[in-house]
Chains A and B, each alone.
Chain A
Amino acid sequence: MKRFLCLFLLPLLMAFNDVPLADPALEARARALMDEIRCVACENEPISQSGAEIAGDMRQRVRLMVEAGESDAAIRGWFADRYGEFVLFRPQTTGASGLLLWGLPFGGLLMGALGLALVFRQRHKRRGGVEIAAIPPDAFDGLPVSNQVSDEQAGN
């Protein structure tokens, strides 16, 4: 419910106090960061979308830091130090949790592929090198056989 209230208190503040940075490139960077920083007063909302007063202050802070030439990582770090890592929608890559979160998807894919390949090789060896017939996918689709063409004929 809080999440919706943030929207309905939609803010003149925002319209008036939010002065975009003069440099469009810097403003784009600031906006990208605002999409990644969580409003501390709302439910699951980035500060870029939130109407809460504190979100406005946080946006202002992002712009100031971007203008001062701070790196994205430094800005994220500043917010994490001040409000806790809770405000980072992009979880940190450091530590055991970072490794698990960011490593598992890609590592899982890689390990899965390797594991399947190994299992497959073993199974294939066990069964011996019998020649395997190629059956075009159309063979089961119910079209009369005379209509079927192999991959080669269809030019695939």
Chain B
Amino acid sequence: MIEVGHMAAFLALAACLVQTWYGVRGNRAMAAGMAYSALGLMSLAFGLLIWSFVTSDFSVALVTANSHTFKPLAYKIAGAWGNHEGSMALWCLVSIGFAAAGAWRLRTGRREFEAKALGIQGGISVGSLVYLLFASNPFLRLDPAPLQGNGLNPLLQDPGLAIHPPMLYLGYVGFSFVFALAAAGLIEGRIDRDWAKATRPFVLAAWVPLSLGIALGSYWAYYELGWGGWWFWDPVENASLMPWLLGAALLHSIVVTEKRGGFAAWTVLLAVLAFCFSILGAFLVRSGVLTSVHAFAIDPLRGSLLLAGLMAYGGAALALFAWRAPVLKGGPDWQFVSREGALMANNLVFFVATITVLLGTIFPLLAEATGRQMSVGMPYFNLTFAPIMALLLVGLPLVQGWSWGAATPKLHWMRGVSVGAGIGVLVLLALWRMKLPLGAGVGVALGLWLVYGAGRELVRRAVTLPRIFALPARVWGMSLAHLGIGLFVIGAVVQTSGRYEQTVALQAGQSVEVAGWAVTLEDVRSAEGPNWYADRATLTARKGSASARLLPEKRYYPAARMPTTETAIHKTGFGDLYTALGDRREVDGKTIWTFRIYYNPLIDLIFFGVFLMALGGVFAAAGGRKARVTASQPEPERKPDPEPSGPKILEPAE
């Protein structure tokens, strides 16, 4: 069976080669046909790989290395991409899938351009498939086949982690298609409003899953690792954050290109960089230059190949950019105080923030090359990245209503004072209720300021409150995303500065107090699952009339010979009471268990905030389509739309 998959992957490679050939020569129909064929072939290949996992076919080397008959079905399936080779196969599938989506959805009326974009994406797929088939082949047999497999890394046996990699890949690989569109536009010398309109949905198609993938990974780290934290500035986390930041910058910059025709070269450069950082992320994670749970391909050859790919594709892209960027035309003139100016400042901050993360991530690697051992960790990022981003967020509500071309911002003292007073009261309330330090108050104020700004912009655009539901989906998308970042800031600040943490040793019947909750250890019993056994503690938590039972576990997976912690979390409404079971010890004939108990206030706001950003992205992808059209209103004069099905665009007075 797997040989059929192997063959199909080779045929997909052939189809991608043909797609590249026809695409670059401008034959859209043939390139599209090849993209669909490649998608069919690669789906077959990947489907057969999954099938080998489902049926536990241990004659396939990859299944033996990463699966086990006792594993639940869902994790047998997820096991197909929970390893280096399988995840590269998924990478190829997504890359081909984006080409097919482009072949299906791209309708710009410029067949040359579309064909070239498909051709370039085909070239990227070719690179990925060559890497898959010749450097990390998942379709190889094992002879003789063993009776049992080694099991999946138990840390990955988790619903969050089962869908985390596909989401991230949609993001990373999605940026490769954005790059293909940018490169095609560069070759044509036309990065204009039509190009931006066609490209923006694909930026969102990459950025939204990337946001969700990062949030899932973060949430998983929170409840699975048992450390109570959600972001560790780990190099692997940073590797996914950098393309996300550049993607966010691109989303703001491409709006200027779409609405005004401006920022063309910069938008294209961001598209190129987002793609380069996606490959850089893959390289950092896969090459073994970093050590972490993600680095499951510690093989110097694979690393060097990825680096060579990064150099080749990234170098070609930057060279193309340097050659063609001078051809691009700018938009109409604008003043410094204008929407364009505000978005330029936005992009400057996003860009510097990305460079800061890059610097902190690779600096220890560079230092090591000179024989110096050093670390760059959380304190560095908290003192550089956070204030730089805060600058952007403080400004956002102030400038979001600015006009294109030239804005005339007015000061409204009354409103300023009342908003400031309202936020001040809420912050003081928060400081008093949660006993936070004053510095945290500034952070909470910033978050509330953003929440206010998001709501204010909706009302301002709608003029009257009831009309906000008639606003275009796109405006809603923007406001939801900005609301999300506000809630995220509040959650992050309150959790970081208000969290409570304690390590305790308890006998059965003993109690400890954590953040007002009396936590009692009832007992610890053995438990068993399909492919693990565990110690499971029963804790009772009481606070006033509220009570909760928490069952943290320490699991052991015999197939992988590995323990994991399963935390137990009680949602109190204002935060999480979080417990993790530690070791057992006999002291004076009594059995004592260690626990880590945390109270994490408002932590759900962090994940909910990111979810809102992603949801905002989905709304924004809906484009400028009207949520509702009232027929009675007189139709204004419009320039004819180049594309009848698309959103109506009013030409700016130039």
Residues of A within 8 A of B (CB): 1-4, 7-12, 14-16, 18, 35-36, 38, 43-44, 46, 49, 51, 84-91, 97, 100-102, 104-106, 108-109, 112-113, 116-117, 120, 124, 127, 130, 132-147, 149-156
A142 near B624 (CB under 8 angstroms)? yes
Q: How far is the CA of A116 from the CA of B349 in the complex (A)?
A: 12
Give the distance in Å from the alpha carbon of A105 to the alpha carbon of B652 in the complex. 37
Complex-state Cα separation, A89 to B364, whole angstroms: 11
User: Is B219 close to A, CB under 8 A?
Assistant: no
**Residue contacts A-B, CB under 8 angstroms, 12 given:** A3-B293, A86-B375, A88-B374, A91-B374, A104-B355, A108-B355, A134-B403, A141-B471, A149-B463, A151-B402, A154-B401, A155-B460
Q: Decide: A137 and B380 in contact? CB cutoff 8 A.
A: no
A135 with B652: CB separation less than 8 A: yes
The residues of B that contact A2 with a CB separation of less than 8 Å are 291
- B647 at interface (Cβ–Cβ under 8 A)? yes
List, in ascending order, chain B residues with CB within 8 A of A10's CB. 503, 582-583, 594, 596
Q: Which residues of A contact B648 (CB under 8 A)?
A: 142
Q: Tell me the nearest residue of chain A to B650, going by C-beta.
A: A139
Write out the residue numbers on chain B whose beta carbons fall within 8 Å of the beta carbon of A144: 629-630, 633-636
Write out the residue numbers on chain A whose beta carbons fall within 8 Å of the beta carbon of B225.
4, 7
Q: Contacts of A18 on B, CB cut-off 8 Å?
A: 503
CB distance from B650 to the nearest CB of A (A): 5
Please, how many angstroms separate the alpha-carbon atoms of A90 and B355 in the complex?
18
Known A15-B503, A143-B472; judge A89-B352 contact (CB<8 A): no
Known: A10-B594, A101-B380. A139 touches B652 (CB 8 A): yes
A135 engages B624 (CB within 8 Å):
no
Q: Indicate which residue in B360, B367, B405, B626 contacts A135 across the interface (CB closer than 8 Å).
A: B405
Query: Does B82 have its Cβ within 8 Å of any Cβ on chain A?
Result: no
CB of B377 within 8 A of chain A? yes
Instruction: Give every chain A residue within 8 A of B402 (Cβ-Cβ).
Output: 137, 151
Work out how many contacts link A and B, with CB atoms closer than 8 A: 223
* CB atoms of B359 and A132 under 8 A apart: no
Which residue of B has the minimal Cβ distance to A38?
A: B375
Segment from B63-71, B206-214, B331-339 that makes contact with A: B331-339
**B545 is an interface residue with CB less than 8 A from chain A:** no
| B335: contacting residue among A35, A90, A132, CB under 8 A | A132
**Contact of B83 with A by CB under 8 A:** no
- The residue that A43 contacts in the complex, of B292, B336, B408, B653, with Cβ under 8 A, is B292
CB distance from A116 to the nearest CB of B (A): 6
In the complex with contacts A10-B582, A15-B594, A137-B401, A44-B626 CB distance below 8 A: no
On whether the beta carbons of A151 and B583 are closer than 8 Å, the reply is: no
- A143 to chain B minimum Cβ distance, whole angstroms, is 7
- Minimum CB–CB distance for A152 against chain B, Å: 8
Interface centre among A3, A36, A105, A117 (most CB of B within 10 A): A105
CA distance A116 to B412 in the complex (A): 29
In the bound complex, what is the Cα–Cα distance between A104 and B384 (angstroms)?
10
